[in-house]
Amino acid sequence: MDDHRGKALQGNVRKVARLLKELKYDADTEVAISSYDITAIAYRMPNEFMRPAHGAEPLLVANVHTFLQTLLNDANYRASLKVPNEMRAIFCVDGVSLQGLIQLHREVKELLDEIRKEFARSLRKLEDARISY
């Protein structure tokens, strides 16, 4: 993975990859995507989705959801994305299927729904949420 991009985005590319991998492994049903392809999806997430500052990770989850929704809705964009070493497309016969993307999107949506529910209890908006660590 491009270390320069990772540093410029405050490590959010790695955070997104780890989040998606955890959701895959913790899912009640199988999410048919390899760890390599999950990393590729995180790597190809546009910079504007990776901008939340340190402590604003709930907003990063919302951005991941938006990006996956975009991939579901735009077949041409989805088909244009390559793995980091450019050797193949992410979404292809040897890569991620549409079904795998749907499964991953479902897991992110469930997490985002839980986060929003928790913030609604505290009368805060997701966009204002901060995590101290």
- Using an 8 Å Cβ cutoff, are 50 and 63 in contact? yes
Model pLDDT, residue 102 = 97
Instruction: Please give the model's pTM, rounded to 2 decimal places.
Output: 0.84
Model pLDDT, residue 18 = 95
Q: How far out from the chain centre does Cα 37 lie?
A: 11
Domain ranges of the chain: 3-128
Q: What is the pLDDT of residues 31-82, one digit of tens each?
A: 999 999 999 999 999 988 887 666 777 888 999 999 999 999 999 999 999 9
The C-alpha atoms of residue 116 and residue 112 are separated, in whole angstroms, by 6
Selection from 114, 87, 109 nearest residue 20 by Cα: 109
